């Protein structure tokens, strides 16, 4: 009887399409019924490199969105930046390729039971899972605003169809090549106040998640963030992807971002201790 | 289900229906893998080395993938023995899994304290005494690199734990004369040996131009170290043919498991392969059974150390 990873299925699936979008690849996998248990925030662990590869570890990717009844049956969409040898291999796979996946893994974004004002913030390809989340929030009657940021315009992922599920979308680039010049944190507190934001959902680089947490620390806003820490297994057995997280009693535990995350309450993460070790337990 | 090959094995006086085990530190306490295969289908779950107190381990980054391998630098993060015995062991026994508890300490006394706590726990098949974790602050603490310290740890555990529970000493390959260290711990009371722990390594990040891991050094595991494991098991089995060896190091297929058994392993642990494939252990066990059958072995135990037989 499994108590952890309890919806996860390991299976070999077929790649349905692989399209380049800006700096990213949009990869669609025909995964079947497992889409029914995928929630926004969950991730997939993919074996890379083929059978004779020297790459022995899976690569974790946020599930961008799933569809239950596309022409292929259940499909899963990933937005992949080809920057390491594993992600480059995945981005080089053609239609019809067989891909070994384990999904869904990890925690999901908490969905409110009543309509709220939600602000979704994505950095780089971190925006990918936010569009699926926006659909779910919209269906619950929430007001959904979105801020996306990246270093350059080609690294903004904002699909046309995704824009329909948000009430507003504001884009920032550091070089000003798209949207406003600057970062998503630029006028964050003004936006939170003007739009009566209840919950921020974020996904992107750790520095961005940490900065958002610091900005909203003095407000009542709940900050749910999807963290990114390098993982060896994705299923909780290797203990490499840990983050310092504050417990209710004030002590700090090193929690696995694969099974206790990737979605965490930003105010619980001890961002100041990331890359360090908390003081010895009493 | 009928088995064409009797796959059972023994480590000291402990009997196991199957010869594949998890490797300590690569299966946590079993809960995470239960979704992928029934834990009672393998020989035993060897739990992550536990210390007397809860421990945070080393800072991140804790991992670096290397060609056909990986470095880890976890540093024995864990809940401490009391929480482990209260929560993890009962759960494993409920699953009808066999359990080998791995313990690690900073001092000879800590190992004895841990052994004392295990003495009264029923349902455990054996204790693995990990004296070879490379991820400690001071390499001087790697008992298994010092013949005298190794003996003292095992002697303390043996005296504390009493007669019945088999003691398996986990040794490091990072020594000059492994058979003499093995002989020392067996003389001190070890019933079996776990070979091999990870090999000490380092990766330097060429962007930061500093060691990549938070703990600077890490343990190398995965297929890259399999030949080191085969050599270590072969050497120790040649020196101590009656001492059972739980073999491990880069096993990722039934062929790899068979190689370790032919070298002298009575059982085989799968570690890093589970990171890439959580059902690896069960797949390897099935492949091994077919390979043994194809070579005419009626029992797995007939294959143990078969590579040492005299030329016909």
Judge contact between B269 and B248, C-beta under 8 A.
yes
**B62 within a domain of the structure (yes/no):** no
Q: Is B63 inside a domain boundary?
A: no
Question: Where exactly are the structural domains of chain A?
Answer: 9-105, 117-273
Look at residue A73 in the predicted model and tell me its pLDDT: 85
Homologous superfamily assigned to A9-105: Translation factors (2.40.30.10)
Domain for residue B209, yes or no?
A: no
Q: Residue B48 to residues A47, A196, A217, B72, B294: CA-CA distances in angstroms?
A: 25, 47, 37, 14, 34
**Domain assignment present for B211:** no
| pLDDT value of residue B120 | 85
Question: Scanning every residue of chain A, which has its alpha carbon at the shortest distance from the alpha carbon of B280?
Answer: A10
Cβ within 8 Å of B, A 80-139: 102
Task: Tell me how many residue pairs between chain A and chain B have CB atoms under 8 A apart.
Answer: 121
Question: Are B35 and A240 an interchain contact pair (Cβ–Cβ within 8 Å)?
Answer: no
In a domain, B246, yes or no: yes
Name the pTM for this structure.
0.95
Number of structural domains chain B divides into: 1
Structure tokens at A133: 């989340």
Beta carbons of A57 and B27 less than 8 Å apart: no
Q: Is the residue at B4 inside a domain?
A: no
CA distance B267 to B247: 6
* Residue found by looking up tokens 């002590």 in the block: A251
Tens of each residue's pLDDT in chain A, 282 residues:
578 999 999 999 999 999 999 899 999 999 999 999 999 999 999 999 998 999 999 999 999 999 997 777 899 999 999 999 999 999 999 999 999 999 999 999 999 999 999 999 999 999 999 999 999 999 999 999 999 999 999 999 988 877 888 999 999 999 999 999 999 998 999 999 999 999 999 999 999 999 999 999 999 999 999 998 889 999 999 999 999 999 999 999 999 999 999 999 999 999 999 998 887 643
Which residue of chain A is at minimal alpha-carbon distance from B29? A237
pLDDT at B175: 94
The enclosing domain of B21 has a CATH number of: 3.20.20.70
pLDDT digits 0-9 by tens, B279-304: 999 999 999 999 999 999 999 999 99
Burial of A106 (0-12, 13-18, 19+ CB in 10 A): buried
The pair of structure tokens assigned to A41 is 């925030």
Q: Does B58 touch chain A (CB under 8 A)?
A: yes
pLDDT in tens, B145-161: 889 999 999 999 999 99
Inter-chain CB proximity A4 and B31 less than 8 Å = yes
Domain that holds residue B187: 9-57+75-204+220-308
B74 to chain A, any CB pair closer than 8 A? The answer is yes
pLDDT recorded at residue B2: 47
Topology of the domain comprising A117-273: Rossmann fold (3.40.50)
Output the six-digit token pair for A247.
Answer: 């417990």
pLDDT in tens, B9-44: 999 999 999 999 999 999 998 999 999 999 999 999
């Amino acid at each position: 009887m499994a108590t952890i990873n309890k919806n996860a299925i390991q299976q070999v699936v077929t790649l349905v399409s692989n399209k380049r979008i800006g700096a990213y690849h949009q990869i669609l996998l025909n995964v079947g019924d497992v889409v029914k248990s995928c929630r926004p925030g969950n991730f997939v662990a993919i074996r890379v490199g083929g059978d004779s590869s020297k790459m022995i570890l899976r690569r974790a990717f946020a599930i961008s969105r799933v569809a239950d009844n596309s022409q292929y049956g259940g499909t899963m969409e990933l937005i992949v930046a080809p920057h390491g040898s594993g992600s480059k291999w995945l981005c080089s796979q053609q239609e019809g390729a067989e891909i070994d996946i384990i999904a869904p893994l990890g925690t999901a974004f908490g969905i409110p039971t009543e309509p709220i004002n939600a602000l979704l913030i994505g950095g780089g390809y971190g925006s990918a899972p936010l569009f699926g989340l926006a659909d779910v929030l919209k269906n619950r009657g929430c007001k959904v605003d979105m801020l996306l940021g990246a270093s350059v315009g080609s690294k903004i992922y904002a699909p046309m169809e995704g824009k329909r599920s948000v009430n507003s979308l504001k884009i920032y680039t550091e070089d000003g090549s798209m949207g406003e010049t600057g970062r998503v944190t630029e006028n964050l507190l003004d936006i939170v106040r003007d739009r009566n934001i209840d919950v921020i959902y974020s996904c992107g680089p750790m520095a961005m998640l940490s900065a958002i947490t610091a900005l909203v620390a003095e407000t009542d806003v709940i900050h749910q963030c999807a963290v990114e820490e390098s993982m060896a297994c994705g299923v909780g057995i290797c203990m490499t992807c840990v983050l310092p997280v504050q417990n209710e009693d004030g002590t700090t535990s090193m929690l696995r971002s694969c099974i206790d995350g990737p979605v965490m309450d930003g105010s619980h993460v001890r961002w100041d201790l990331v890359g360090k070790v908390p003081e010895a337990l009493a | 289900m009928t088995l064409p090959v009797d796959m059972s094995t023994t480590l000291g006086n402990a009997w196991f229906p199957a010869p594949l085990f998890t490797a300590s530190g690569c299966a946590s306490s079993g809960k995470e893998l239960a979704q992928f295969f029934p834990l009672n289908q393998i020989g035993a779950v060897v739990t992550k080395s536990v210390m007397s107190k809860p421990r945070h381990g080393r800072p991140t980054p804790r991992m670096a993938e290397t060609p056909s391998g990986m470095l880890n630098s976890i540093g024995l993060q864990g809940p401490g023995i009391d929480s482990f015995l209260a929560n993890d062991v009962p759960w494993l026994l409920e699953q009808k899994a066999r359990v080998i508890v791995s313990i690690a300490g900073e001092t000879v006394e800590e190992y004895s304290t841990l052994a004392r706590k295990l003495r009264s726990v029923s349902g455990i098949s054996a204790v693995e005494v990990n004296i070879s974790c490379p991820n400690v602050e001071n390499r001087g603490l790697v008992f298994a690199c010092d013949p005298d310290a190794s003996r003292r740890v095992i002697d303390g555990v043996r005296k504390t734990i009493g007669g019945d529970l088999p003691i398996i000493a986990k040794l490091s390959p990072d020594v000059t004369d492994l058979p003499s260290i093995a002989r020392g711990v067996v003389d001190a009371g070890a019933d079996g040996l776990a070979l091999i722990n990870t090999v000490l390594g380092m990766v330097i990040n060429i962007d930061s131009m500093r060691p990549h891991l938070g703990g600077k050094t890490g343990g190398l595991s995965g297929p890259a170290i399999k030949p080191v494991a085969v050599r270590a098991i072969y050497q120790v089995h040649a020196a101590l043919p009656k001492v059972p060896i739980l073999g491990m190091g880069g096993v990722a297929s039934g062929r790899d498991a068979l190689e370790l058994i032919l070298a002298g392993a009575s059982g085989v642990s799968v570690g890093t392969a589970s990171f890439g494939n959580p059902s690896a252990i069960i797949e390897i066990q099935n492949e091994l059974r077919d390979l043994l059958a194809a070579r005419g072995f009626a029992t797995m135990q007939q294959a143990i150390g078969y590579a040492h037989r005299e030329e016909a």
